[in-house]
Amino acid sequence: MFYKTELSSRLFLGTAQYPSPAILAEAIRASGTEVITVSLRREGPGGGVFRDLIAATGCRVLPNTAGCHSAREAITTAHMAREVFGTNWIKLEVIGHADTLQPDPFALLEAARVLCAEGFEVFPYTTEDLILGEKLIEAGCRVLMPWGAPIGSGQGLRNIEGLRSMRAHFPDIPLVIDAGIGAPSQAAQAMEMGFDAVLLNTAVAKALDPVGMARAFRQAVEAGLAAHRAGLMPRRDMAAASTPIFGMAALA
């Protein structure tokens, strides 16, 4: 449950960087997503087309505060987004570093406190830091979105053990891997580890065939979720024969 909203698709899809609006619309359909991320920008040509496109998808929108470097900017952007998109959902991004696009944990927490108190349903883009996660939950966040790797890097899950600890530490909080996913196998891995969803954009938008890649991610996320629910076998250091020894012929 993501703020009392049940989602059957566990893939959240970004809407930026596609070759054309038509391919974006088709990729959204192929991905099976129910949640798309959007932003607020100074309107350029074709703005109206995008508005119509979003409405036609029937998806829930998750506006972001991408590009904000201070709590104040992010809070103002969230206010503007709530009015334009008519939703309390906000993907809270407060960037601390231009090269890594790493979240600024201090400003993130400050903005999360203000926005949660104002009734926003905050999806904070965070790291795998457990203390920060706890503080965000204290602030009122009911979802956490740890990064897999730096935004747009396609590196997958850079700190698997740290993410595993986070999953174990917050068993009842929906956790969404946000950013850094480059391949469907990485999305499947996140889901197998018990994450509740993955949010990605570049991996689909910059594929040679974005629609085909959207479909591949849909299948990977579904497979990873099904695998997690089915229960993975424990890993072993040594081999363990699967075919029974009993009844084996004496041929040596």
Partner 1 sequence: MRVDVNGMPHEVGATTLSALLDELGFEAPCVATAVDGTFVPRTLRDAHPLSPGARIEILAPMQGG
The answer to whether 84 contacts partner 1 (rule: CB under 8 A) is: yes
Q: Return the number of the residue (40 or 173) whose C-beta is nearest partner 1.
A: 40
Q: Which two tokens stand for residue 34?
A: 């129910």
Q: Are strands 197-200 and 176-178 parallel, antiparallel or unpaired?
A: parallel
Q: Which of 128, 201, 214, 215 binds partner 1 (CB under 8 A)?
A: 201
Q: Are strands 11-14 and 60-63 parallel, antiparallel or unpaired?
A: unpaired
Dist. CA 87–CA 69, nearest whole Å = 23
67 is in an annotated binding site: no
CA distances from 249 to 132, 230, 245, 246, 252 (A): 60, 35, 9, 9, 9
Catalytic member of 4, 91, 135, 206: 91
The answer to whether 39 contacts partner 1 (rule: CB under 8 A) is: yes
Dist. CA 216–CA 137, nearest whole Å = 33
Q: Return the number of the residue (63 or 156) whose C-beta is nearest partner 1.
A: 63
Dist. CA 92–CA 123, nearest whole Å = 6
The answer to whether 180 contacts partner 1 (rule: CB under 8 A) is: no
The answer to whether 72 contacts partner 1 (rule: CB under 8 A) is: yes
- What residue ranges bind partner 1 (CB under 8 A)? 14-18, 24, 37-44, 47-48, 50-51, 54, 63-64, 66, 72-73, 76, 79-81, 83-85, 151-152, 201-202
Which residues participate in the annotated binding site for 1-deoxy-D-xylulose 5-phosphate?
Answer: 152, 179-180, 201-202
Catalytic residues, by residue number, are 91
